[in-house]
A and B are shown apart, each in its own frame.
Chain A
Amino acid sequence: MKGILFVVILLVLAMLANGQKIEDIRINRYADFAGTIGQSQGSLSASYVHNWKLWKKRKWETGFSLRWSSYFGTKTEFITAPARLARTNTTPFLIFFAGQRKETQDTLTVQRPFTNSVNLAINFGYNFSQKWSGGFNIDLIGFSFGRKSPAILTSNGEMQTEPSAKPASFNLLLTGDHDLGSLNSEFFLRYHLNDTWSVRAIYEFLFVEYKTSSVKQVAPDGTEVYRFRNKANTFGLGIAYHFKTIRYI
């Protein structure tokens, strides 16, 4: 066994010593920083992206990224989160087209929300030309932490103080209002300044979830609800540094 390992190491070393180094244009790796702003709220994000360019023309690309998203706002409204109370139809994917159940939705106004989320995301992109590309990405799974904040639960016209609402800690993409926690997604258009730097114009759709601890919504079916979701629509800019990927031939 040791002998085989020794031979493999020797072969790798020989390849590195004698092999020719070239840039691997099948891989697009970059570090990305973005900021977006919306009404009374905004976000900052940093991600490391690893995409593979697909097929012969390498116009399409897909891959994964690890993204840190920070969300902040002031007096932001979070509505009842569970899908069965938020939407008229809860069938996965069809839920996107379902109507809102206003009659069962209460509002939690979080005074000073601030959350941080670290999520694994999936990316899709298309390279229109050498300079221009576009794409979409969405968080899949991860965790969140952040600031506890006073909040006000408005339920059937009556207001109650929640002294310490806190961000939901577990994030999972389950489609639409089935989602758990805080998940970020972006549509973007990218312009490559040169081989190393690019800039992006971004439309961001960010789910953020806060949980109450002392006050709860009592749903018409008698269940208690303590999860509330904000869906932030924001616009912003990003900048990316592209790494060269070297391979040996």
Chain B
Amino acid sequence: MRWIIFIGLIAFFSCKKDLASTTPVMDNIDTTTADIKYDGSFMNGPFGSVSGMVKIYTEDQQYSLALINVVISNGPDLHVYLSKEEQPGQFIDLGKLKSTTGNQVYSITGTPDFSEYKYVLIHCQKYNHLFGAARIAQ
């Protein structure tokens, strides 16, 4: 019995470790020097809920992705993708989700072709579960 409790506790804390932070992030982008190139609104995915906006900024030929006023249901190993499809088929991984709420900025390396990468996804990488998607347009 003690072993079962021990293993259960390990499994519980392993899952907790993977969850995104719930502390709101308030990243700022300097809108006086950065231009908005694309934007869109999030829709819920089959495995979670995402609300808020996404904007793609460019400054000195460097692209950044900003999540604006987002509220995301928490899950393990959540990542932000720039994707060619509404499902995470071919994508660029911008990194782990910083928080489930707030305004967050992610830098985009290189110059992706936004006529191909038309979606921003919040995706649980560990279990391949899509939490939400936003189609971006000019």
Mark A residues whose CB is within 8 Å of B. Answer: 74-75, 111-112, 150, 152, 158-161, 163
Inter-chain residue pair count (beta carbon < 8 A): 29
Residues of the B chain whose Cβ atoms lie less than 8 Å from the Cβ of A112: 126
Encoded as 1 (CB less than 8 Å from any A CB) or 0, chain B from 67 to 108 comes to 000000000010000000001111111000000000000000
Q: Is B128 an interface residue (CB 8 A)?
A: yes
**Highest count of chain B CB atoms <10 Å: which of A74, A75, A112, A150:** A150
CB atoms of A150 and B90 under 8 A apart: no
Q: Is the interface of A mostly helix, strand, loop or mixed?
A: strand
CB atoms of B127 and A150 under 8 A apart: yes
Residues of the B chain whose Cβ atoms lie less than 8 Å from the Cβ of A159: 90-93
With an 8 Å Cβ cutoff, the count of chain B residues facing the other chain is: 12
CB atoms of B90 and A160 under 8 A apart: yes
Encoded as 1 (CB less than 8 Å from any A CB) or 0, chain B from 105 to 138 comes to 0000000000000000000011110000000000
B109 to A, closest residue via Cβ:
A157
Q: How far is the CB of B56 from chain A (nearest CB, A)?
A: 19
A75, B77: Cα distance in complex, Å: 11
Residues of the A chain whose Cβ atoms lie less than 8 Å from the Cβ of B93: 152, 159
B18 to A, closest residue via Cβ:
A74
A115, B78: Cα distance in complex, Å: 25
Residues of the B chain whose Cβ atoms lie less than 8 Å from the Cβ of A111: 77, 125-128
CB atoms of A150 and B91 under 8 A apart: no
Residues of the A chain whose Cβ atoms lie less than 8 Å from the Cβ of B77: 111
